[in-house]
Amino acid sequence: MLLNPNLPGRVFPPVGSYLVGRGKVREFTHSVFTTNPIRINPVAVRAAGHADVVTPPTFAAVMVEPAVGQLFRNPDTGLDPGRVVHGSQSVVYHRDIVAGDELTTDLTIASVTERGTHVIITTSSGIRDSHGHPLSVSAFRACAACRVLAQGT
């Protein structure tokens, strides 16, 4: 499998908009076994000074997946999802995501590094609210079993 050599620096179109609903926050909260009252109890939320229920930090993955998915669903990238292994992920949060937020997510290919018959792909995804303010930035690194197609071939 040959990877498109023009991937580094490529910016994919933003995906969204995703309206964060209380029910989705509650479902996700229960699925990750979180019991913090600001995630499920509107009274506790108001007492803590939040506008609505606050998502668990890992809820950001719900918004990032469609953006990162563009990398795998777009045939001109040269990536076969069956040959990709998740390497690492880190997230920097600028503020909590709360029910009622309307979010979009972007994706940029930060780098592609060859290592023998594999490549390491690093992406950056930013989640923004409806006013364009950043909520989080996620760095994702994956290893793919493929080679970079030489320029001009």
pTM of the entire structure?
A: 0.81
Helix (H), strand (E), coil (C) string for the chain: CEECCCCCCCEEEEEEEEECCHHHHHHHHHHCCCCCHHHCCHHHHHHCCCCCCECCHHHHHHHHHHHHHHHHHCHHHCCCHHHEEEEEEEEEECCCCECCCEEEEEEEEEEEEEECCEEEEEEEEEEECCCCCEEEEEEEEEEECCEECCCCC
Q: Give the pLDDT confidence of 67-113 residue by residue, as tens digits.
A: 988 888 888 888 878 878 888 888 899 999 999 999 999 999 998 88
Q: Give the pLDDT confidence of 31-51 residue by residue, as tens digits.
A: 999 989 999 998 999 999 999
Q: Give the pLDDT confidence of 111-131 residue by residue, as tens digits.
A: 888 887 788 888 899 999 999
